[in-house]
Amino acid sequence: MSDLGSEELEEEGENDLGEYEGERNEVGERHGHGKARLPNGDTYEGNYEHGKRHGQGVYKFKNGARYIGEYVKNKKHGHGTFIYPDGSRYEGEWADDRRHGYGIYYYVNNDTYTGEWFAHQRHGQGTYFYAETGSKYVGTWVNGQQDGAAELIHLNHRYQGKFLNKNPVGPGKYVFDIGCEQHGEYRLTHAERGEEEEGEETMMMTVVPKWRATKITELALWPPALPNEQPPTDGPGPEEAPGPEGGGELSEEGQALADVSEGETDSMRPGQDHGDGTWEEGREDFRYDAVDQGIVSFEEEESKQSELLE
């Protein structure tokens, strides 16, 4: 369910009076607590002020959706909960009939978004949790899209870098729980994707981020080695010690990561949503269209790297 669904659920205006039972002021306006059944079949029970919904109230739509929260002059404003017909819901702050401020959106597939909203869209700092994979995106959002510095956290590793329009871009690194980091960068490339329209197949270009690893480093261990520790006397001499560039061999885990880092690996994604194949703006779908062309997804590539590290 799109988190923009409430735009299609318009409440009756102040001129659509319908049936009313409740308090009024001296000039006959709805004022105080009352119940109303509106001409379109919706109902409202709560506070009024000078003929308008104002204060705490419950608005029930005829399609099953409902809003429980605060109103200011007939508009959702303050704190409130909106429950959509499919069972998804938003709990948080509203301004001028829009999600605005801090709030939590619970999606029908059990995904959640917790963070800042601006004019009905995810905007600012927020965390999107993927129920199917257990992964989560923690970082910046711009106009509903993942955009800016962020961390993509998985069960045994994480990616730290920048995102642009939901895609990872530029320098970043993968941090693995076994104690190493793989540094590199994402480069946006274009891939062709075929689509069939009215019996004719057309080719479309889609943006695909590809990961290019550059180096592998160890994590800083804690506690650090003592500064007064002396090397063993029976160790190799200076002539026998391997140099930093020549004789040393990578550990088994390091060699496995080095094999992965040769050349470019394809983009990685944490999961996908349920649905009919079309992306809904309320959920985050990390499956690239180019997967059909043989490009490895986020989840598959990161799973491959995790297996190499075991």
Q: Is residue 308 included in any domain, yes or no?
A: no
Q: Is residue 169 included in any domain, yes or no?
A: yes
Q: Is residue 82 included in any domain, yes or no?
A: yes
Q: Is residue 271 included in any domain, yes or no?
A: no
Residue with tokens 């002020």: 49
Q: Is residue 289 included in any domain, yes or no?
A: no
The HSE-up count of residue 288 (CA atoms within 13 Å, CB side) is 30
Task: Tell me, yes or no, whether 129 and 44 share the same domain.
Answer: no
Task: Tell me, yes or no, whether 151 and 80 share the same domain.
Answer: no
Q: Is residue 119 included in any domain, yes or no?
A: yes
Q: Do the Cβ atoms of 15 and 6 come closer than 8 Å?
A: no
**pLDDT at residue number 180:** 92
**pLDDT at residue number 174:** 95
Q: Is residue 200 included in any domain, yes or no?
A: no
**pLDDT at residue number 111:** 98
**pLDDT at residue number 143:** 94
- What is the full per-residue pLDDT of the chain (310 aa) written as tens digits? 445 444 445 565 555 578 999 999 999 999 999 999 999 999 999 999 999 999 999 999 999 999 999 999 999 999 999 999 999 999 999 999 999 999 999 999 999 999 999 999 999 999 999 999 999 999 999 999 999 999 999 999 999 999 998 899 999 999 999 889 999 999 988 766 555 555 555 556 787 889 999 999 887 554 555 556 555 555 554 444 443 343 444 444 444 444 444 433 443 444 443 333 333 335 555 433 332 333 334 444 555 555 544 5
Tell me how many domains the chain contains.
2
Round to whole Å and give the CA distance between 31 and 29.
Answer: 6
Shortest CA distance to 148 belongs to which of 167, 131, 135? 167
pLDDT in tens, 93-123: 999 999 999 999 999 999 999 999 999 999 9
- Check the CA dihedral 280-282-287-289 and report its sign: positive
Task: Tell me, yes or no, whether 139 and 212 share the same domain.
Answer: yes
Task: Tell me, yes or no, whether 97 and 59 share the same domain.
Answer: yes
Task: Tell me, yes or no, whether 97 and 114 share the same domain.
Answer: no
Domain boundary among 38, 70, 103: 103
Task: Tell me, yes or no, whether 135 and 180 share the same domain.
Answer: yes
Task: Tell me, yes or no, whether 90 and 116 share the same domain.
Answer: no
Q: Do the Cβ atoms of 267 and 208 come closer than 8 Å?
A: yes
Q: Show contacts of 90-94: CB within 8 Å, 24+ apart.
A: 90/3, 90/6, 92/117, 93/117, 94/69, 94/70
Domain boundary among 103, 136, 170: 103
Task: Tell me, yes or no, whether 140 and 173 share the same domain.
Answer: yes
Give the structural domain span for 210.
Answer: 109-191+206-219
Give Cα 75 to chain centroid, integer Å.
Answer: 28
Q: 185: domain CATH number?
A: 2.20.110
**pLDDT at residue number 220:** 54
Q: Is residue 227 included in any domain, yes or no?
A: no
Cα angle 34-36-42, degrees, rounded to a multiple of 5: 140
Task: Tell me, yes or no, whether 98 and 117 share the same domain.
Answer: no
Task: Tell me, yes or no, whether 124 and 141 share the same domain.
Answer: yes
| Average pLDDT score over the chain | 76
Q: 79: domain CATH number?
A: 2.20.110.10
Domain boundary among 53, 68, 103: 103
Q: Do the Cβ atoms of 117 and 104 come closer than 8 Å?
A: no
Task: Tell me, yes or no, whether 97 and 113 share the same domain.
Answer: no
Q: Do the Cβ atoms of 293 and 191 come closer than 8 Å?
A: yes
Task: Tell me, yes or no, whether 133 and 40 share the same domain.
Answer: no
